[in-house]
Structure 1
Amino acid sequence: MDYPFAPPTALDPPDEWERLRAECPVSRIRMASGDEALLLTRYDDVRALLADPRFTHHLTKPDAARLADSESGGVFNEQGFDSDMSSGEGHRRWRRMMSRSFTAKRVNELRPRIEEIANLLIDDMRPPADLIKGLGFPLPVSVICELLGVSAEHRDRFSHWSDAMLNLTRYSQDELNTAAGEFHAFMAAHVRAKRDDPGDDLISELAVIMDSDDGRMSEMELIATAQGLLVAGHETTANMIGKMVAMLLSDRSRWERLLDDRGLIPSAVEEALRFDANPNFGIPRYVSEEVTVGDETIPAGSTVITNIGSANRDSCTFADAADMVLDRRPNPHIAFGAGPHSCLGQALARVELQTVLAVLLDRLPGLELAISPEELRRREGLIVGGLEELPVRW
């Protein structure tokens, strides 16, 4: 089977997910490169794999499958996947250092500022509008830039660099190398500036930790950290804002229920994350030694793709899995991954999604789609799933 699969609409899952969960939970797929890999689609299998140290990030091994064609590779090329930060004690050390600064308290303190930015952006919107262009993209990029102490005036450059890092098909290797070089040079200069003249931002704080006695983050580690936070901190959330609102507006009763009960906002955000039929390409892993998944033996040297979107719709874990249940509790979705490599920025993403949804309900209660849900278009070629645009009116 060719992968990724083609969905029927931008908001609906591919038909293959349900069939594979039932009949072939470890299935052989063919990537855009022509190389073969294995795909996992069941919740229990995906969650277990993500926490298993035998499934590694070493995707540049000679026998690892190329996930894109030979002239591109985006974030899955040779940059960083074999670094000490990606696995083992090096990764645990990096997470410990990050956890000292990137705390839930720090993120929650951003909530009033996120609300302020959302209101300012809505002030500038006029119906009909593209909600992604007007709100979905500029809000998270403004927030992550403030968190990192970077000027948001560079956001068009950040958008290009992020697109290059996250796109499997659009860019040649020369274009990817140029974008990666420019991005690295920008962040290297930013990190050095923060070391020389610290401010009240995360990078300044990490730069101090880098020079402290109780833990040392090298300059290269700090640059890579800043790059990763900037890409993940705005691209994924920007896409999720658009998809979340599209899901809620595609069935007007969902939006009306939230208008009647704002207490459902946190659980509605979690359910949007679970219900997302266009989350991402999947999380790839390289198998360092033979392992058994269900009744299948996966040989060492295999490349495995974990399909989080399919796992989050597994009826063996979630009752009424094919329905968007706004008050679903508990909701053990794995939209942010699982285990030691779960998304570091998930607390920030949750605060942004909850705050944006609350502001939209307050400011634009009559919000509705300006086109039918079937007319919405997915962004193609990206590792991170999203919509091309979200036309709305109110």
Structure 2
Amino acid sequence: MRELPADFFRTPHAFYQQLRAEGPVHQVRLRTGVHAWLVVDYDAAKEVLRHPDVHKDPHAPRGAEARRSAAGGSGVTAANPRLSLHLLNSDPPRHSRLRKLVTPAFAPARMEALAPRIVAIADDLLDAIDRSTGAGPVDLLAEYAFPLPITVICELLGVPVEDRARFREWSAAVVDTLMSTPEGIRAATDAIVDYFDDLVARRRAEGLGEDLISQLLLATEEGDRLSHDELISMAFLILVAGHETTVNLIGNSVLELLADPARYLALRDDPAGVTPLVEETLRHNGPVNVATLRYTTAPVHLAGGVIPEGELVLVSVASANRDERHFASPAAFDPDRGTNGHLAFGHGIHYCLGAALARLEARIALTRLVRRYPQLRAAVDDADLRWRESVFIRGLLELPVVPVGTPVVR
């Protein structure tokens, strides 16, 4: 039985490399005392993510619901049961039904149409940084990487942007489970339910618009619609997953850029390089450490091990994306490697519905940033950076930078 090392959240990859050398799957003890099976290599991860005997519904195997709670939730599973009806807690056929109903709202063309507005949001945030600082340090997460995607999500859902501070507080309580109390998680999820209950009631009373809540209210497939609680749960999932991934994708991408000034200047001179850079960040230092919780409903046989029935399973996409058997020199950050097949957004039927939006926001955030600050530099050493204590999210608590350089005026 392995335990997560003391420095796991700061440097998880040394631990993962050691585990991969020993085998594809390991029993681990989480800091909450719960036992789980941790999948660490690429082929085993893909197999588990699509295996018919590995389920998402915590009520499927005996005892899984209790272990899920003790493990600290799933990052998008909440104390309030009304928030547990979303895609990431569902298996077919219910998952198929829900996915079919909500997929049109996330069509790639619909997401790409948001690009001009995302550019405007990014530029407004950079303007605010210009007004509030001289050449002194600024926390790029707090001032840019967080407000950009949460503003996009607020506008998509049709909620006031001034509520984004509350959204950040609620989301952090749900995702950073090792830093939250059960009472804090319950309070946050109850507040989310109350908020979206009121929002949906107002939409029904005042008339539907172009926002995502209205589109989900209108969504119909062969006469089927989302129930009220399904709609609330989906809005919760969109709120949490819709910005948490992107916040940390932006932050981790900037960190990769700052590690090599030549790389930063290359992106400034050739913005087209942002696409491979984002994809390599997703592989090398993506925003998801471990995928949301899964449970075995029968013994699952993998090369090198068997996970018994009724067990809690954690798939480390961060480890799989650095598997030496699948990626050459995986510890090196190389946007020119032509990264294909990384698992940062999952695999199989639970592949992230918002992947296109996350990629779009990250590309825009990075290109506008390097355009505005051609010589941005870190304000602290890497050793002084603090990482979030979340099993599921791989992201910084702060990213202090000095916004220097002659900006390109828009």
Deviation at 1:58, TM superposition (A): 3.2
d(CA) in 1 for partners of 2:72 and 2:339? 44
- Residue of structure 2 equivalent to 1:310: 319
Structural mapping, 1:115-154, within 5 Å: 115-125=119-129, 126=133, 127=135, 128-154=137-163
What secondary structure, in the 3-state scheme, does the structure 2 residue paired with 1:297 have? strand
1:225-247 CA distance string (max 9 Å, x none):
11110111112211221111011
Distance 1:81 1:36, change over 3 A: farther
The TM-score normalised by the length of structure 2 is 0.89
- Residue of structure 2 equivalent to 1:63: 63
| Structure 2 contact 86–233 (Cα < 8 Å) conserved | no
d(CA) in 2 for partners of 1:70 and 1:16? 20
Is 2:340 the counterpart of 1:331? yes
Distance 1:271 1:38, change over 3 A: same
Deviation at 1:160, TM superposition (A): 1.4
Which region of structure 1 is more displaced relative to structure 2, 302-311 or 32-41?
32-41
Is 2:248 the counterpart of 1:239? yes
- Residue of structure 2 equivalent to 1:177: 186
| Structure 2 contact 74–293 (Cα < 8 Å) conserved | no
Is 2:25 the counterpart of 1:26? yes
- Residue of structure 1 equivalent to 2:175: 166
Deviation at 1:213, TM superposition (A): 5.7
Which region of structure 1 is more displaced relative to structure 2, 278-287 or 36-45?
278-287
What letter corresponds to residue 109 of structure 2 in structure 1?
K
Structural mapping, 1:1-394, within 5 Å: 3-7=3-7, 10=10, 12-60=11-59, 61-64=61-64, 66=67, 69=70, 75-76=76-77, 79=81, 83=85, 85=87, 86-125=90-129, 126=133, 127=135, 128-196=137-205, 197-209=207-219, 214-276=223-285, 279-381=288-390, 383-393=392-402, 394=404
Deviation at 1:155, TM superposition (A): 1.0
d(CA) in 1 for partners of 2:86 and 2:398? 38
What secondary structure, in the 3-state scheme, does the structure 1 residue paired with 2:18 have? helix
d(CA) in 2 for partners of 1:8 and 1:148? 35
Any unmatched runs of 5+ in structure 1?
Answer: none
Which region of structure 1 is more displaced relative to structure 2, 345-354 or 317-326?
317-326
Deviation at 1:202, TM superposition (A): 1.4
Which region of structure 1 is more displaced relative to structure 2, 293-302 or 51-60?
51-60
What secondary structure, in the 3-state scheme, does the structure 2 residue paired with 1:117 have? helix
Q: Aligned-pair RMSD on alpha carbons?
A: 2.3
Distance 1:374 1:362, change over 3 A: same
d(CA) in 1 for partners of 2:211 and 2:180? 33
Deviation at 1:169, TM superposition (A): 2.4
Identity %: 37
d(CA) in 2 for partners of 1:5 and 1:46? 22
Which region of structure 1 is more displaced relative to structure 2, 172-181 or 73-82?
73-82
The TM-score normalised by the length of structure 1 is 0.92
1:33-69 CA distance string (max 9 Å, x none):
2121111100111011111121111335543373565
Distance 1:278 1:234, change over 3 A: closer
| Structure 2 contact 153–242 (Cα < 8 Å) conserved | yes
Deviation at 1:146, TM superposition (A): 0.6
1:238-282 CA distance string (max 9 Å, x none):
122111101110222321232333221101000011111663344
What secondary structure, in the 3-state scheme, does the structure 1 residue paired with 2:336 have? coil
Give the total of aligned pairs: 392
d(CA) in 2 for partners of 1:83 and 1:348? 23
d(CA) in 2 for partners of 1:319 and 1:8? 24
Any unmatched runs of 5+ in structure 2?
Answer: 405-410
